[in-house]
Structures are given as structure tokens and as C-alpha cells.
Structure 1
């Protein structure tokens, strides 16, 4: 199984990942078409910035192994796809109660007020290709790697140094 890995040392905060995600999940699948249609674009990844520390961090669903959003979902709209390991949302079953939004420890489930459904990163599973945010990132800060690569400890070591203030 693959997971999205973020190298915060490479992110420049350009938000290209946000735009690519929004366009990929739009009905038109292109920026000009989405703009012409007046459709509200909803991103599933967001780049948080901390100018004091010169840090940018793309944040999206971590695809938890025991997702709280799935447990909290009263309609079964949120579910864990056992084959891919991706937490998905059947929007036709979502009633907009926002329980998943409230219990997500990462704050990455977004309430789409216009459609009354919860929105989250689905790793572009339905698109049949690598995630749009990964393909669009000009600095390759966002990667799509096997979990074995993800768990090698490189990320953990970097974050430990970053939290301790040794990395910026």
C-alpha cells in the first residue's frame, strides 16, 4: 500500500497541490472550466504556513489504520477500503452531521457547506492515478510512496529535529 509523504524541508508554500486537488475533484477537471462554471472548488489538502519559522506544511488525511471518522460516522458514509488502506467517503450517504470533522485528530476533514457533505483526501483513488497533489508539486515535497518507505524513519528523524528546533 502507498501513502502520501510530505518533505517539509522541500515545501515552498506555492499551494500548487491545493489547486491541483481542487481541479481534479471538480466536475470540469480543468481550471478554466471550473472557473467558467462558477463551481465552488473544494480542496482536500491545505498548506499551512508559519512565516516566523519559514515553514510550509501540506496537510491532508493521514489514512489512519483505526480511523475515528469511520467509527463516528452514523450512516456508514466514511469507510476504510481494506484493499487500498484509504479512508473514503460515500458522499451520497453523508448527511452532513460533521461528526467525522469533530473527531479527526488532524483536522483534515472539511465540511462542504454548499453540498452538506464532508470532504477529505481520497488519494485520487477514483481517478485511477497517483494523487494530483503529488503530480503537481514542483519541488517534489509531496510524494506517493510505499508504506515500507514511509516507515523507514527518515520522516520521523526529520520531524524530531524540526520539533526540537534544529531544522527549519
Structure 2
């Protein structure tokens, strides 16, 4: 059974430890703009950690004409192959949650890879707002519920 990142915004305290851990792991320095996770804070003073949701049917992979992004059926993750990427940024436009970006300096997509099975964001989150947990039925139901909440929030923004 695979693991999944479970995001629980109700526990987020806006400390940005997840961004620090992520950018240190991937970039060797604290550069929030190059973190694979972002913490959004609303005017109502609640924070939401956001990262690639490893969608079941990923829009980013569907629009990638060179298959640099693909759904790994074994792990359930959306894998990124930098060597195939042509830098068209269609994936960035396609992600309905805005959880993928493009680094012009590195000429590469910035997307969560769950740190190859040991996500730093979950390891360093002091409140368990981000957890790396087994993908059992209960966890998947909680993840689906949170995903539905994200969808409701984002669809209200567009209205």
C-alpha cells in the first residue's frame, strides 16, 4: 500500500517550516519561491498548505505533449522527467490548483516529488498539518474531503 500527503489546514499555524524544509532539501537554501509547497494565508487569518495533490487524473500530465509528466501507476505519484521537458509551461496553466510552477533559471518544472518517499514538509511540520500517511480507506476519504473543500474554495474565487 502506498503513502499519501495528507494536508489538514485546520492545524496549520502559518510557520512556513514546510517551505523552509522543502527549499533546503531541493535547493540547498531557503528560497520560498522555489519550494514545492506554498502556504496561503487568507485575510480571515487561516492558513492552507498547498502542494501537488498527485491527482488521480492529472491535468498537468494530460497536456504535456512530450510526456515529461506522467502518472506512475505503481506509486500513484505524478512523476516529472526534466530531460523530456521542453519548457512550454502548459502544465502550469493546466493545474487547477496552481500547485506547479516553472523555474526559468533552472529551466525546469517545480513540482512536489514527495522527496522520493520521505517528504521533508511532513517531517518538519510542527502541528501535523502535513502528514505522510498510509493510503488506507480512511486516509483516502479524509484526503477526498479536503480536496472537495479546496475545490469549493477555489470555485467561489472564480465566481
Q: What per-residue deviation string (whole Å, max 9, x for no partner) do you get for residues 61-99 of structure 1? A: 110111111111111111111111100111121111000
- Aligned residues of 2:6 and 2:143 also touching (Cα < 8 A): no
**CA shift in 2, pair 1:40/1:48, >3 Å:** closer
Between structure 1 and structure 2, the one with the greater Rg is: 1
Q: CA RMSD in A?
A: 2.4
Q: Please, which of 131, 134, 141 is the counterpart of residue 146 of structure 1? A: 134
In 1: Cα distance, 2:78 partner to 2:143 partner: 24
Deviation at 1:124, TM superposition (A): 1.0
**CA shift in 2, pair 1:90/1:154, >3 Å:** closer
**CA shift in 2, pair 1:154/1:123, >3 Å:** closer
Structure 2: runs of 5 or more not aligned: 154-159
Tell me the TM-score normalized by structure 1.
0.79
**CA shift in 2, pair 1:55/1:41, >3 Å:** closer
1:84-163 alignment runs, 5 A limit: 84-125=75-116, 129-147=117-135, 148-153=137-142, 156=145
* Number of the residue aligned with 1:31: none
Partner secondary structure for residue 152 of structure 1:
helix
Partner secondary structure for residue 140 of structure 1:
coil
Deviation at 1:21, TM superposition (A): 0.7
Structure 1: runs of 5 or more not aligned: 29-33
The count of residues paired between Structure 1 and Structure 2 equals 148
- Aligned residues of 2:7 and 2:131 also touching (Cα < 8 A): yes
Tell me the TM-score normalized by structure 2.
0.83
**CA shift in 2, pair 1:135/1:66, >3 Å:** same
- Aligned residues of 1:16 and 1:133 also touching (Cα < 8 A): yes
Q: What per-residue deviation string (whole Å, max 9, x for no partner) do you get for residues 96-132 of structure 1? A: 100000111111111111122211011111xxx4210
Deviation at 1:154, TM superposition (A): 8.0
